[in-house]
Amino acid sequence: MKHYLATALQPLFLIFLASSVLTGAGCAPQEQINSLDRRVNGLSVENGTQAREISELKKQIAALREETGGGDSQDMEQLRSSVADTAGRMEQLQAELMRLNGQLEQLALTSEKQKEELKKLREEQKTEIEKLRKEVRLLQKSSGIARKVEESRKKAARGEIDLYQEALDLFKAKKFKEARNVLKKYIDTNPNGDMLDNAHFWIGECEYNLKRYEEAILEYQVVISKFPKSNKIPDALLKQGLSFAKLGDMESARIVLSKLVKKYPSSPQAKVGKKHIRKLP
């Protein structure tokens, strides 16, 4: 679960990083706009100053003309030169103002575009975060269900083992009827249990010790027929052969014990089976 949660949260970091970059990019045009605004304001002030200077110079020229009767003098020429210089400066200022206003408009458009892109990215980010939150909630829910299933399975397994062990303890205490009943309960409550072959074998052993040899033979046969890979088959064959002998059916006993010796020749049960075969009439 921890590995699935570490992979799922990486897109959030990428979105956050992209958002940070765009946010930073959005600040730059705004700073430029503010700087240009300050510059435009300064030029506007300067332009106003130049206009007032021209107006003052024109008044001086008019006054000089009145004094000189309309003739030109050296002062008049200097005034005219100052007016021309000031007018040229004003033209430059106006051109600079137009250029700066154009930059302001362009920056304003760029800033607005970046704001729209940032808004769109934030909406996508919000959608992605909500999607990831839903996935996390589903994973947490699935994890909780899986945990409960696993706990139930473990609890059932513990109950299965406890029941089986209870039966073995009763058998060791020679309480064969009680052990048989507990083993049958184990089989009924655990139809797919891991120790069904053992349970049937020990029921057979309980029947054998209760001298119910026919019932024992049937239980041993369940082990042999239904659980061909069980490690209890050599034991079941041996005790099944002995059960037939107890019933006086020596021919069946010989057949079963011979099958044991032939199929499992190296087993300890086969050695015991050979001894019993030699004792059969």
Q: Is the pLDDT of residue 78 over 90?
A: no
Q: Is the pLDDT of residue 6 over 50?
A: no
pLDDT at residue 63 in the model: 66
The CATH code of the domain that includes 206 is: 1.25.40.10
Question: Residue 193's closest CA among 244, 149, 159?
Answer: 159
pLDDT at residue 260 in the model: 97
Give me 204's structure tokens: 């057979």
Domain identity same for 127 and 33: yes
| Global confidence as pTM | 0.48
The CATH code of the domain that includes 66 is: 1.10.287
Q: In the listed set 148, 183, 210, which residue is the last one of a domain according to the structure? A: 148
Q: In the listed set 148, 183, 215, which residue is the last one of a domain according to the structure? A: 148
Domain identity same for 135 and 180: no
Domain identity same for 45 and 117: yes
Helix (H, G, I), strand (E, B) or coil at 5: helix
Q: Is the pLDDT of residue 188 over 80?
A: yes
Domain identity same for 98 and 178: no
* Tally of structural domains, the chain: 2
What phi and psi, each to the nearest 5 degrees, are found at residue 212?
Answer: -100, 75
- The boundaries of the domain holding residue 15 are 2-148
Residue 45 lies in a domain: yes
Distance CA 47, CA 96 (A): 11
Distance CA 217, CA 49 (A): 125
Domain identity same for 25 and 144: yes
CA distances from 19 to 13, 26, 110, 120, 130 (A): 10, 10, 17, 10, 17
pLDDT digits (tens, 9 = 90+) for 255-278: 999 999 999 999 999 999 999 999
pLDDT-derived band at 237 (thresholds 50, 70, 90) equals very high
pLDDT at residue 50 in the model: 62
Domain identity same for 118 and 189: no
User: For residues 132-154, b (16+ Cβ closer than 10 Å) or e, as one string?
Assistant: beeeeeeeeeeeeeeeeeeeeee
pLDDT at residue 88 in the model: 73
pLDDT digits (tens, 9 = 90+) for 85-107: 766 776 777 677 677 777 767 76
